[in-house]
Amino acid sequence: MNSNRCAICRALKQICDPNCKYKAHFPSNDTRFEDVQQIFGAANVANKLNSLETEEQRKIAANSLCYAAEARRRDPKSGIAGMVQHHESILNDVEQDIKFAENELKTNMGPDQVPKFVPVPIPDGFLTTVDDASTSAGPSAGPSATLPKNHE
Ligand SMILES: [Zn+2]
């Protein structure tokens, strides 16, 4: 038996050859794969990664599957949808705070003196972790969905 099989090949009890498509995304010691396997099933994950054409697509898919599986583990009822609702709620609170502050400024300084709120564009790579940023190909790699690594 090859003890260095990637997490998917090990779960599927198959040989993991040196050119295995999954190895880069779910190495043998990948602790995230337990959640991914439990939520999506190893065969489904393998099929999904096989259906993609580029390493970049497989990387994004693997990160997305990890993100979704972790969200489902944290919140078995709502998963990603619950996280979206949570963040929308935070965003709504911040927007309310901005409106409140604007109204307070208008009252204290006069309506003509209040600067307009201008949304700041989100920079490329904003949602990547430090690990991703150090291994990514640069800004062209685009944002990927991974959770902050403060949950351990
Ligand atoms: Zn493998």
Distance 59 CA to ligand 1 centre (A): 15
Question: Quick one: tokens of 38?
Answer: 């439990």
Under 8 Å between Cβ of 16 and 39: no
| pLDDT tens figures, 107-147 | 998 888 887 777 788 888 777 655 554 444 444 433 444 44
CA of 97 to the centre of ligand 1 (A): 50
**How far, in Å, from the CA of 19 to the mean position of ligand 1?**
8
Distance 102 CA to ligand 1 centre (A): 56
Inside any domain, residue 68: yes
In a domain, 84, yes or no: no
46, part of any domain: yes
Give the domain range for residue 42: 1-74
Which tens digits make up the pLDDT trace of 63-100? Answer: 999 999 999 999 999 999 998 999 999 999 999 999 99
> For residue 34, which of 64, 11, 57, 2 has the smallest C-alpha distance?
11
- Distance from the alpha carbon of residue 72 to the mean position of ligand 1, in angstroms: 25
Whole-number Å distance, alpha carbon 151 to ligand 1 midpoint, is: 27
75: tokens are 């919140």
**Residue 102 resides in a domain:** no
Beta carbons of 9 and 16 less than 8 angstroms apart: yes
Domain assignment of residue 115, yes or no: no
**Maximum pairwise Cα distance, the chain:** 76
